[in-house]
Chain A
Amino acid sequence: MYPTTEAIYLDHAATTPVRPEVARVMAGALAEDFGNPSSGHAWGRRARRRLEEARATLAEALGVSAAHVFFTRGGTESDNLAVLGRVRHDLAHTKSGHVVTSAIEHPAILEAAERAVVEGAVHTVIGFDAGVLDLDALETAVHGRPSLVSCMWVNNETGLVLPMAEVAAACGRHGVPLHSDAVQAVGKLEVDWGNAPFDLLTLTGHKIYGPKGTGALIARDPRGLRPLLYGGGQERGLRPGTEDVAGAAGLAEAVRLAVAEAPAESVRLRALRGRVEAALLGRIRNVRVNAGDRPRAPHILSLAIPGADSDTLLAALDAMGIAASGGSACASGSSMPSRTLAALYPGDGAAALRLSFGRLTRSRDVGAVVRAVVEAVARTRALVSP
């Protein structure tokens, strides 16, 4: 095995460790609040109280109504619930469904939209023009009164911040519900979520030092959604199944801390990323920062490295104790051709390297990270050009 003592984790956009405060809250809930929140007895009441406290904590942290918080089991589930829940509702009521997404959504949105097509709906993909979302195409699409527009807040591969105000304005003009996958935005951007322009919002715990398998969908009008699962009616029927009280408590605490710390943490991460970015641009020739000329979230640095091979580059970095990622990872572990980069940079086949910063990143890591990336890129490029 490779040494891990000096290993540096730069894959916070993939997942994060549970922070101690969250673990403590969860340990307490697991030990004491084990009752079934649907039970009428004292144990049930206690668990129910804990669950509703979590809902209130999360709602307060975001400035939304607790009645609009629906706990799910993760980001993928929230995304699927938004897309398929909206489309199935419309298919049932109007015999037609239409989902509009950007071209760079997470697979949990794009694959759900493809599923919606199988079920009889239409999927319109809004592309990019020179790296900018095609708002004219969006305007045309919302004119047809689709069931839903889904546009992520922050792109997971590049950190690109989507123009949510403009997207929301277009949706608002035609009364079209807007969903946003905000899993890479919460805790990274200073957003007044309570006044932010969305109807549906996806959250997940594990990107913000909370537990995996936890998430929420903020739904300002849940009446327009069909559930994905059927059962005991929990979460007002939108997500049945005995509630994960400890998970909800952990998620709520993680959201609370992430939102509270976002102002300071975003400044820290932006500075760290800036140092790494400047050093790498200075020491590696012919390299591009993906979405570098666009508004970006502070924790992601995505580099396009022509002449290198993404798989080998990542393996070489792993061998040097640096955990990073390529584009998005598919189940095989091999890098897939990135739909995001294809949309932002059509025809560009450069290898992608994503470094994502977070609480595990220390200022003193910058030097080692830069040295390792420079070395790994040099070794990998040497293979391609003999």
Chain B
Amino acid sequence: MSIRAGRLRILAAMSGGVDSSVAAAMLVEAGHEVVGATMKTFCYSGEAAESRKTCCGLEGIRDARLVADRLGIPHYVFDVEEEFTRDVIDDFVAEYGRGRTPNPCVRCNSNTKFRDLLRRGRALGCDGVASGHYVRLDRAAGRPRLLRGADRSKDQSYFLWGLPAGLLGLLHFPVGDLTKPEVRERARKQGLATADKPESQEICFVPTGDYRDLLARKLLPTHPALSPGAIVDPRGRVLGRHNGYSGFTVGQRKGIGGGRPERYHVLEIRPETREVVVGPRHLLAVGGVVVAGLNWLATPPEPGRTLHVQIRYRAPALACTVEALREDAVELSFREPARAVTPGQSSVFFDGDRVLGGGRIRRVVGARY
């Protein structure tokens, strides 16, 4: 169960979406004293205020407030723009600047959202923090275990590997045992304003959906990531030009120029030379990966151990072996070659449903070119 017995005062993160609305409602139903909170993560003035993105901007705040009023709980808005800009947006920009593809939601969950809410919650006398993520916490063992959500199509454990292990026991994920249709059904039954709200897919601070606008604002125009470079094949032959490697992601197919006998994919981004390496699909497969910036939610695995690793959101976990483990990085070899292993993306380690930990993909090992 994700909800502990006994009455607690819990700070419920409410984005204004249906999942966090139902999470708060379930805690209220379970008899807890719930305080709702929405984090204002970036400035919603100007164009952003005009956009009507879900879970974002004033609309999200308004919807969260409507739900809180319906549930009869207080609701506060916390302005975290400064921390969020520093910890999430600046990192996002820097990673693209290095030719990597970041997961800003992971960064936010790891560094900003939960830590900040727990901190503020303490000032309000709260014992814990809840969110609407589709994950479960197994509290039966001495040390809480983070598990995949029961609804595998909605499972969000990929985004939560960076949670500080010591804080897991203070967290609550009430919808982790439910499926998305069950969540919507509960929202409808309770008359929550967010019951039929569409899913949000975009990054909250990129309401236009095009992150390159943000990079253009944040990076100097002379930054290599925004400067023209060569599109080359694995043997170094120049196939064309591009207008900045920050527009590319490993595995991506578009934007390389057509007319080739077979469709080409981005194989690698080389920020030091500004080259974007492209090639046929079979060259995307690699034998292993080095993952850095590690966070463990369980005892780190010994070298030689087999585990499963998920290298993209919604991708299946791949069997792999731990080749080497250091304090700051782990090298894994895949049982079967893996495709589109993208530097900057999260790698999350699993033992069955249990999240063991994770990190950011630093580089691939055993490319075939």
Contact = CB atoms under 8 A, between A and B. Distances in A.
Given A312-B78, A331-B58, A334-B40, A1 B125 contact: no
Interface in B120-139: 120, 122-125
B78 A334 contact: yes
- Most interface-central of A310, A311, A313, A332 (chain B CB within 10 A): A332
A116 B84 CA distance: 35
Contacts of B72: 1
Given A332-B77, A334-B77, A334-B79, A315 B124 contact: yes
B78 A379 contact: no
Given A312-B123, A315-B120, A319-B125, A332 B74 contact: no
Interface in A82-105: none
A14 to B, nearest CB: 16
Contact of A1 (B65, B74, B120): B74
Contacts of B65: 333
A333 B123 contact: no
A376 interface: yes
Contacts of B73: 1
B44 interface: yes
Nearest to B61: A332
A382 B125 CA distance: 13
Contacts of B37: 315
A310 B78 CA distance: 9
Contacts of A309: 120
A376 B123 contact: yes
A266 interface: no
B282 interface: no
Contact of B79 (A311, A313, A379, A383): A311
Interface string A300-335: 000000000111111110110000000000011111
Interface string B69-91: 00011111111000000000000
Given A2-B74, A332-B58, A332-B77, A316 B44 contact: no
Contacts of B119: 383
A380 interface: yes
A84 to B, nearest CB: 22
Nearest to A315: B76
B40 A332 contact: yes
A316 B76 CA distance: 10
Contacts of B74: 1-2, 315, 318-319
Nearest to B80: A311
Nearest to B82: A349
Nearest to A313: B123
A311 B80 CA distance: 10
B52 to A, nearest CB: 15
Interface in B20-55: 35, 37, 40, 44
Given A315-B120, A379-B122, A383-B123, 11 more contacts: A1-B73, A309-B120, A312-B78, A312-B123, A319-B124, A319-B125, A332-B58, A332-B62, A333-B77, A334-B40, A334-B77
Interface of B: 35, 37, 40, 44, 58, 61-62, 65, 72-79, 119-120, 122-125
The 10 closest A-B pairs by CB, nearest first: A334-B77, A379-B123, A315-B76, A333-B77, A334-B79, A332-B61, A312-B120, A311-B78, A316-B123, A334-B40
12 contacts: A309-B120, A315-B123, A316-B124, A332-B44, A332-B62, A333-B65, A333-B75, A333-B76, A334-B61, A380-B123, A383-B119, A383-B122
